[in-house]
Structure formats: C-alpha cells, structure tokens
Amino acid sequence: MPDELTPQADSEQREAALPPADGGVPAIEPAPADGGVPAIEPILTVPHEPGAPKPDPILEVDGLSRSFGGLLAVDVDHLEVQRGATTALIGPNGAGKTTLFNLLSGFERADTGHWSFNGEAVTNPSADGLARKGMIRTFQLTKSLAKLTVIDNVLLGAPRQRGEKLWAAPFPNRWRSQEEANTERAEALLERFNLAHMRDELAGTLSGGQRKLLEVARALMADPVLIMLDEPMAGVNPALAQSLMHHITQLVYEGLSVVFIEHAMDVVTGISDWVVVLAQGQVIAEGPPWKVIHDDQVIDAYLGRRRAGAAR
C-alpha cells in the first residue's frame, strides 16, 4: 500500500487525535478470519460487559436516547469506543444501530443524553460540524453522487478546501495547488479501491459494490479520525467484500478508529477487535468477537439458538 495514504500532511492539527506511538497500533498481522485473536493490546484489559470503560476512548456516550412515537429506538446508558480499534456494532434488525449512528453523527437529534468525541464534549451536534472534526460516516444506502464523476466524488471529501469558499472559487490561482494535491491523493485512493479505471465516469454508472467502495474512498479523503461505516458489505459481492475488509483492517493500522454496523458474522469476527451488541436500543453485550458470539444473551437476541449451535 502506498505510504502517502497514511494521515496527511495537512492534518497536523489532528496529530493529537492519532494513537500514541508507544504501542497504540501494534504492527501485527490482521486478525485471522476465524476471529481468534484480538488485534489491539489495550482492549485486552477491558472487561467484557456492557458500558465497559476503555483505556483510550475516542467516543464516550452517556444516557443517549431517542424515541419515535412510542418506540424507544435508542436507549444507551453508557458506551465507550476505543481509539485505534475496529469496533463492530451488531444487533437484530430494528435494534437501533443506524439510529445510534444518526444520533452520534448529528443526522438526528437525541431526546436525551450527551457524548464526547475525540476528548471534546459534543454540544449542539451538527452533521457537518462533526464531520469537520473528523467523525466521518457512510450510509447503509450508498449516497454516491450520481451526476458527479468518480474523481469528483472523492475530491468532494477533501477537508478545508480553499476553493470551496465563494470568494476564492472564481480565482483558480487561489486554490489550484491544493486541488492538485487533493487530486493526487484522490487518485491514489481510487487506485487502492480498484476504481482508478472509472476515474472520469459518472458515479451513477458504478455497480452497487463499487459505490460502496467509492463511499469509503470518499470518507477516507476527508481525513477522518473516526470512520463510521453503516453496513459497508451489504450488497457487495464476496470478492469485493474481501478487499473492503482488507481495506478496513488497513485503516486501523494507519491509525484510524473504525466503527461499523454489520450483519454478516464472518465479517464481524474477521475484522473487529471489539463487538458491541445492541438490542431494542440498549447495549446488551460487549466484548471481543470470539467471546460475544458465544454469549447466551446475544444468541437469544440476535443469532438464534439453532444457528449458533450450528456455527459451533
């Protein structure tokens, strides 16, 4: 993988956000697909219980709730997400996973509760404001910008663009150098996600799986500190899914924190360091994947006894 894709030169101010050099991200092989080994050392010390405190949380959530009519969609008492780790958020349909994402990323208003991101309390959450602070999310139904080219889709992700200011926009000399640097990065990302050959095609012509990849590439372009992927593998063919999984593991090595929602258990066990299980809006279990998938409560709520028995 090309080195220039590691966190960018123009993100010095985020350096504090990156994991400490002293072992935050150990350079070990990816966790094997059978989910045996937790990849992150610090997380080894965390108790396997809902709301467990983490040694270095990037996200801390307290008393977060949101109801729709009479339905309490999210009711999270306490949740911490470890920095520099891959955290899977699983749960049966309707458990409130996407709603939790929406609340945390500012796309929906919480009824109660507060949270902090990257050590900073989130007051008055706005989707774009949180994104500018480095919390970048993707969507379950991909939001590729159909009538923009693939490269423009990715370029849109670049943060702090001078050319996005109205008064600078008509004068290319004010933003051309930055645009060129961004284009170089964007092309490298396309290369990495096997989309380089589609560079100048309209994004609307991509296949569903390619759009998923494009969305992840675009999210990475935004220099995220925390990337939140909503079902990144849904609708992606197995070969692409495999490469996407590889990319996600790679992200964590590069110092990012990843939270993802996923239904496919092989993906969860394959790439996550930690699993949070949501059911009826509440965190019912937390732990490393190998532990969580054998948890009785989780099996009851999510996997179903028969299937879990078969998996064993």
Partner 1 sequence: MDFSIIFGNAARAAFGPEAVILALAAIGLNVHFGYTGLLNIGQVGFLLLGAYGTSVSVATFGWSLWAGVVVGLLLSVAFAVALGIPTLRLNTVMFAMVTIAAAEIIRILIGSTDAIGLTGGPLSVSFDAGAFYDLNPYPDGPHDRYGIGTFEFTGQQLWVITVGWLLVALVTAGVVMLVRSPWGRVLKSIREDQDAARSLGKNVFSYKMQALVIGGAIGGMGGVIDAIKTSGADPNGFRPQVTFFAYTALLLGGSATYLGPVLGAVLFWFLREWIESFLRQIVEEAWLPDVVAEFFDGAEGVISVAMVGVALILLMLLRPQGIVGNRTEMQLDAR
Please give the residue ranges that form the binding site for partner 1 (CB under 8 A).
105, 107, 127-129, 131-132, 136-139, 143-148, 152, 155-157, 159, 161-166, 168-170, 172, 175, 179, 202, 204-205, 218-219, 222
User: Considering beta carbons, is residue 164 or 296 the nearer one to partner 1?
Assistant: 164
User: Considering beta carbons, is residue 89 or 275 the nearer one to partner 1?
Assistant: 89
CB of 1 to partner 1, least distance (A): 23
User: Considering beta carbons, is residue 159 or 209 the nearer one to partner 1?
Assistant: 159
CB of 140 to partner 1, least distance (A): 12
Look at residues 270, 252, 281 and name the one whose alpha carbon lies nearest to residue 97: 281
User: Considering beta carbons, is residue 82 or 105 the nearer one to partner 1?
Assistant: 105
User: Considering beta carbons, is residue 158 or 268 the nearer one to partner 1?
Assistant: 158
The Cα 183–Cα 158 span in angstroms is: 9
CB of 89 to partner 1, least distance (A): 17
User: Considering beta carbons, is residue 77 or 201 the nearer one to partner 1?
Assistant: 201
CB of 203 to partner 1, least distance (A): 9
Q: Is 48 exposed, middle or buried (0-12, 13-18, 19+ CB in 10 A)?
A: middle
User: Considering beta carbons, is residue 135 or 265 the nearer one to partner 1?
Assistant: 135
CB of 148 to partner 1, least distance (A): 6
The CA distances from residue 305 to 35, 207, 226, 311, in Å, are 20, 36, 34, 10
